[in-house]
Amino acid sequence: MAAVTVEIVGFEESDCGPFPCDETRSCGLEACYPSNRMIDAISALRYELLADYGDTIEVLMTLIDDGIPEHIRKIIEERHPPIPIVLVNGKLTSIGRVSLDLIKEEIEYALEES
């Protein structure tokens, strides 16, 4: 079982973050450029995280186009986070975009706690 679960929540057509995708790659991901699509960014993120952490990481994508799971509904009602929502081990982060370096920081915190 994975020690850390990263869950990215959004709509099928969601952007990967609030900023346009450009050649500076401030998100740290290359494989999804220049799509600016959350789905492509999650695939690139999964690839990078599995390469760095192996089976200690699980990356989930939760699309909310056709319904919102209860655990996500509760977070939205209480906190009103921006899309994409980034959860690490079920906890809401303040990231608000698919960003390799920022998510890796959250993973490191989670690994230290476990």
pLDDT digits (tens, 9 = 90+) for 69-82: 999 999 999 999 99
What CATH class does 4-113 carry?
alpha beta
Cβ 86 vs Cβ 103: under 8 Å? yes
Q: Is the pTM of this model over 0.85?
A: yes
Q: Which residues of the chain have pLDDT under 50?
A: none
Extents of the domains making up the chain: 4-113
Nearest to 10 by CA among 42, 34, 33: 42
What is the bridge-based pairing of β-strands 85-88 and 4-10?
A: antiparallel
- Euclidean distance between CA atoms 69 and 37, whole angstroms: 22
Residue 29: predicted pLDDT? 93
